[in-house]
Amino acid sequence: MPAKTYFTIALPLLALFLFSGSSTPAGDPAAAEYRFHEPDRGWVARALKKMTLREKVAQLVKIRVPGRFLNRRSPEYLEIEDQIRRNGIGGVILFAGNVYESALLLNNLQAASDIPLLVSADFERGASFRIADTTSFPWTMALGAAGSDEFAYQQGAITAREARALGVHWIFAPVVDVNNNPDNPVINIRSFGEDPALVARLGAAFIRGARDRGVMTTAKHFPGHGDTAVDSHIGLAVIPSDRARLDAVELVPFKSAIDAGVDSIMTAHVAVPQVTAEPGVPATLSPKILTDLLRDSLGFGGLIVTDAMEMGGITTKFWTGLAAIRALQAGADMLLLPPDNDVAINEVVRAVQRGDIPQDRIDRSVERVLMIKTRLRLHKERMVPIDRIDDVVASPESRKLAQEMAEGSMTLLRDRQQLLPLDVINPPRIYSLVLSSDLDASPGATFQAEMRARFPAVRTASLDPRTPEDLVSGIVKNASEAELVVIATIVRVVSGKGNVALPPNQQAVIERILAAGKPVVWVAFGNPYILSLFPQLPTYMCTFSYSDVSQSAAAKALAGEIAIGGRMPVSIPGHSSVGEGLAVARRNMTLGVPSREKAELWATAFQATRSMLESHVRDGAFPGAALIVGYKGEMVLEAYAGRFDYDAGSPAVTGDTVYDLASLSKVIGTTSAAMMLAESGRLLLATPVQDYLPEFKGENKDRVRVEHLLRHASGLPAWGALYRESRNREDFLGKVYAIPLEYEPGTRMVYSDFGMILLGEIIERASAASLDRLVAARLFGPLGMTSTLYNPPRALLPRIPPTEDDPWRRRVVRGEVHDENAAAMGGVAGHAGLFGSARDLTRFAQMMLNRGIYDHVRVFKQETVDRYTGNTVGSAGNQALGWRKPSAANWTGAVFSPSAYGHTGFTGTSLWIDPQRQAFILLLSNRVHPTRQNQKIDEVRRGISESVMRVLSTQQGTPGR
């Protein structure tokens, strides 16, 4: 076998063996991080000595490789391999692709090279700039809007870790151009902003973060590409600055980058005629820029690398061979992407041979490159362990931080009608339109999905330049019928495109929509300068990015889920200045606490209610009780009276006292679980119960629907002492299945524990989870209800009052369910078993008032809450789905509005929620202690509720939230 063939096969196998137990993993956060090492000068000297002139020149060339799968015998792969084997090029630049394909390809290419390859990539906003499924960061200008050094540092650090995990050693980032030209078609949101000090500060922080994780960094594009209106991918851009202006503006971030230890500086294909006196010569080919200014004046000793030599800023005036020679003569160390590698290498070799480039000039650059390879330990370990990638790339911690960066960048420039944040509880009819300046199958898909998650009734649409007129007319019509229109524009920065503008046909569509006079909220994804097209816009928010995290952040900002606090990192001439931005607080969707002044007013207003609660304790209605009233998003009454029992030394009741909730379990636990499963399609209310419970057999039972169980209209009796005869849960359920119906299903409403017991079993079968675990994971956990649970552990016992001195169990029951049937079922049942504290349950109550959302965590869809708590069509009695409704037959009809809903519990608990009045009343007690013969609870509930509602009705002028 030829030696080189053996080397190609053996090296990957050897690397796999070595890395399978390596103590220096690539990017593994749990082990040693990547870091720079002292250069191995001996290896560098030996390598240089062995190289021919052509091999040395080839070390200064980088070629393009895709980050996608390539068959080893494909023409594309063979061409890349040929450049590595035959020419011995020094490195490759990774372009668009995927995670594992990139790593595998780079490992294969490393194996094909005698000298380790230096792998680079344009990871300007993290690896996601090129590689899918890596941590998605917002664009650079978004970091400028957030203004956080820590964000910039962390983005650099995470980018470095993911780069090294993929096999990338050198990132062409950060962009430190000062974007002070609004018409710049190629830099734009790739820059931190137009303030040189801001760009310098954040650029240096990024560099420090990346270098701390062992990745080479690049400050680009020297001497500055921000003040141009020409894309250097297409033609030669001109910077109108003299040296004084460069020192004051463009060079400020580069000086800061050098101080921060930046490893390389990339040249710009821009002319600086006031400095070079050569209007047709780009900086890349100018010794006055690269040597006199960068090396000598600024004292940069690192690697100088050209921008892509295939770009129009070079190729329109200089042929490949001459451009390569001129770049090296100017002071560049590495040539990126020559249009023809062989031509570039050949001509540089000829230039050295004829004395146009000194031999030692080539040697110095090659030595710099080889030194870097040893500092990265590539001469020791050039492969990356594939099996560790999934522990590093796109980690939950990295994704969370990236999302926080995007959220911190949201910048509200205008909100003249004070539209933000939008009301997510009772939202207007919203029409959300996304316009993309490029052809796009589903522009703004993440934004629209996030909008639908927060505003379920929102109508969405999208436009790109090819949208036909008939669809455009429909969009304009739909927008005119909405109560509020959200217009989001995605104007991308694309190399070689030549502009960052909104197409004229889309501008015309927007004019037609604005003419309808509806309130408009404009979200600028990407290019922030388009406000100048529509200066009349009353509400304008910039994200400076169109990455998915920025789209998500924008929807959160509109909904008030996050505060808006970004500041403009650029000016929009005639409309805004650097540093502007309105502050909008996060919308409070919890149960808040009134201000001190308001709290004093409420305390006075509820004095009679507090006295009433205390008098009920004295009268023996219960040993103690907790009463909390929520009103317009605030806890306006928090009253606790009495003790756990009638012993004077027992603990006093507090908001953290955990009570047996009894039949409140039916609505808080079982009905909530039914709502969740109905939303997911696992629970079908119109389906026969027998479809879920075939054991439920008997006359007319085939006619019982799941909905009948929720409406207490199943035909089942109210209650029975099955616990006396049941051996275990299954035996108990068997007895419930066998109970005969007492009336035709759907014809009457008879409140039944047995119906809810069956519903609990259906929920467990439909979800493949026990009822207690289901609601803990899906309801109580997300709401932060840490003291609401079935079968409380013994550690919670000191917070739980006793219930009854139970004749069946022959002891005082405490910390175990009071209901005997629920006890026979093991403490978890559809009709009883929950324990909870007053403070916990206020979260649930406020969530229901918020129509399914609490602290911006959506638990139920709005329509689900409305359906389950509203008047059920065709229902008999005062019954919604699970919940009770106010009735003219008792006191509730006179106290609560028709929209109210509530429930009571046998142990002395109750919860009534009144959406019309934006209020809830929660009362917890253990009135069955020591005996259930105490029947004063109905009088208590009525008196307390009437007292509370009198106060609320007379305090309408008291501010809510």
Q: Which two tokens stand for residue 129?
A: 């700039």
In single-letter form, the type of residue at position 444 comes to G
Beta bridge partners of 61: 335
- CA 579/CA 594 separation, integer angstroms: 34
Question: What is the Cα 698 distance to its own chain's centre?
Answer: 52
Task: Kindly state the tokens that stand for 928.
Answer: 């069955």
Spatial contact of 464 and 489, defined as CB atoms under 8 Å apart = no
The active-site residue, picked from 307, 464, 855, 914, is 307
Q: Which of 867, 833, 831, 847 is nearest to 920 (CA)?
A: 847
Give Cβ neighbours of residue 460 (< 8 Å, ≥ 6 apart).
Answer: 431, 432, 433, 434, 448, 451, 452
951 to 181, 199, 636, 914: CA distances (angstroms): 61, 57, 11, 14
Tokens of 267: 């040249």
* 725, burial (CB in 10 Å: exposed 0-12, middle 13-18, buried 19+): exposed
Q: Which residue has the tokens 């949208």?
A: 467
Task: Residue 314: name the closest of 268, 254, 263 by CA.
Answer: 268
- For residues 482-520, b (16+ Cβ closer than 10 Å) or e, as one string? bebbbbbbbbbbeeebebbbbbeebeebbeebbeeebeb
DSSP states of 915-930 = TTTTEEEEEEE-TTSS
For 496, phi then psi, to 5°, come to: 85, -5
* Listed residue (926, 906, 627) closest to 800, CA to CA: 926
Concatenating the DSSP letter of every residue in 30-70 gives TSPPP------HHHHHHHHHH--HHHHHHTTEEEEEEES--
C-alpha 886/C-alpha 147 separation (Å) is 54
Determine the residue type at 113. S
What whole-number distance in Å separates Cα of residue 663 and Cα of residue 822? Answer: 11
The Cβ-side half-sphere exposure at 55, using a 13 Å CA radius, reads: 14
Cα 282–chain centre separation:
42
CB atoms within 10 A of CB 739: 18
* Active-site annotation holder among 169, 221, 225, 233: 233
Secondary structure percentages of the chain, helix, strand, coil, to 5: 40, 15, 40
The bridge status of strand 118-121 relative to strand 334-336 is unpaired
Tokens for 372?
């870097």
929 is a catalytic site residue:
no
| Amino acid residing at 426 | N
Q: Catalytic residue at 225? A: no
Question: Which residues make beta-bridge pairs with 305?
Answer: 266, 334
Distances (CA, A) of 402 to 276, 391, 434, 673: 41, 17, 23, 33
**299 phi, psi to nearest 5 deg:** 70, 30
CA distance 623 to 926: 7
Residue type, 871: N
Distance CA 194, CA 191 (A): 8
What's the distance, Cα to Cα, between the start and end of the chain in Å?
81
418, with CB counted inside 10 A (0-12, 13-18, 19+), is exposed
Distance CA(488)–CA(525), nearest Å, equals 7
Q: How many CB atoms lie within 10 A of CB 614?
A: 15
Could you give the residue numbers annotated as active site? 233, 307
